[in-house]
Amino acid sequence: MSVSRRHFVSALGLGGAGLVSPPLFGHRGHEARLVEWLNAPPAPSALIRLDSNENPNGPGAKAFEAIRAMFGEANRYPDDPERALVAAIAREHGVSEDNVILGCGSSEILRMCVERFVNTAQHLVTAGPTFELPANFAQTMGRPVVTVPVDAKLRLDLAVMGDKAGGAGLIFFCHPKNPTATVHGDAAVREFVARVRRDSPATYILIDEAYHEYVDEPSYKTAIPMALADPNVIVSRTFSKVFGMAGLRAGYAIVHRETARKLQGWRLGSGINVLAAAAAIASIGDHEHIALEQKRNRDAKAFTRAFFEKAGYEVGASDTNFLMIDLKKDMRPVRDACRKEGIAVGRPFPPLLTQLRISIGTMEEMVKATDVLKRVLA
Ligand SMILES: Cc1ncc(COP(=O)(O)O)c(C=O)c1O
């Protein structure tokens, strides 16, 4: 049984084998499901999952207590827990409840924005590569997508994205950026937003801050103040990363009231289940636990970076819970060889096919993973 599964089972007080069956834990996260994983070699049972930027430690103790206490409400629709979660998010960010929109994971926020703001006449601007979901949604809906390649430092190319913004319905601004783990300073983000607002006033800018809590770069700032002041700026956040709740599905957006009114109708009603709502409420203000998760990530990331750098590889700057490593050769055979040895690493991100994305697991997992990688890369 994996560390995280053991933790989850014991934290819930479910020791009995039949209560939490293995197949439940065999399903992969949202990210991995997006891609060719059906074609990947079969997963060994003790797979170490470093492929979907999940938090290997799972939710904190307070979240588990809240989940346990909520079991008795499982027969009720989540109206009250959703209201309580909106209040907790508003309190945490010092905003009004009218500025908060819940999503079934931040993925739902991304989908809502594409549905509402991208149409056949107003395209989506995204990066290549970036988190694929908004572009995938737009393509599924038959709506135009303009993809701007990343710059030489694998960051969003803000100059070209600005050039392509004219007449766009939505710009997807992944910040920190998945998969390249990069951020921009606050001044550059503000300048970009100001340019888009001036040149293309009807365009919305979705700033996806899924990895916000992992940022160390001092010039980075959240865009929440911009979203409160400007109806065309939307900030999305998630409980899937530092809060360790990817399987529970809870995310949200902070938006101007005017924009909240435009988006609310596109929500899946009752999209947050009662257990996720309870866990999220217990987690969002648990700063001690967040600090612990940040430290665990920082330590295991430093260990992993040192391994690759010592072996002579170039590792990009990372303000997230994953690293991008330039293997200087096609990463796909390496990915397949790792998987055969029980390590799942990131998918290919064309056109960056020499770059391997590796999510940061526990220190124990990273020790095992780097051992395997040493052999595979030799
Ligand atoms: C940048 C980014 N945004 C959003 C998501 C989706 O997260 P959620 O679990 O909140 O739907 C991910 C998932 O990996 C991500 O990397």
The protein residue whose alpha carbon is closest to atom 3 in ligand 1 is 210
Is it the case that residue 21 has pLDDT exceeding 80?
no
Q: Which residue has the tokens 């109708």?
A: 265
State which ligand 1 atom lies nearest to the alpha carbon of 31.
Answer: 14
Total-model pTM: 0.90
Residue 28: per-residue pLDDT: 47
Question: With a 6 A CB cut-off, is 174 part of the ligand 1 pocket?
Answer: yes
- Domains delineated in the chain: 3-59+287-377 (3.90.1150.10), 64-284 (3.40.640.10)
How does pLDDT run across 103-137, given as a tens digit for each residue? 999 999 999 999 999 999 999 999 999 999 999 99
Question: With a 6 A CB cut-off, is 271 part of the ligand 1 pocket?
Answer: no
- DSSP characters over 14-48: --STTTS-HHHHHS--HHHHTTTGGGSPPPPTT-E
Pocket probe for ligand 1: among 156, 238, 243, 248, the residue whose CB has the most ligand atoms within 8 Å is: 238
State which ligand 1 atom lies nearest to the alpha carbon of 249.
Answer: 9
Residue count (the chain): 378
Helical segments of the chain, H only: 3-12, 22-26, 30-33, 61-70, 79-93, 106-117, 133-140, 158-163, 186-199, 224-229, 257-264, 274-284, 287-310, 331-340, 363-377
pLDDT confidence band for 30 (50 / 70 / 90): very low
Residue 45: per-residue pLDDT: 58
Is it the case that residue 23 has pLDDT exceeding 50?
no
Q: Which residues share a beta bridge with 51?
A: none
Can you tell me the distance from the alpha carbon of 356 to that of 324, in angstroms, rounded to the nearest whole number? Answer: 6
Is it the case that residue 19 has pLDDT exceeding 90?
no
Least confident of 15-29, 232-246, 294-308: 15-29
State which ligand 1 atom lies nearest to the alpha carbon of 174.
Answer: 1
Residue 13: per-residue pLDDT: 54
Can you tell me the distance from the alpha carbon of 77 to that of 1, in angstroms, rounded to the nearest whole number? Answer: 33
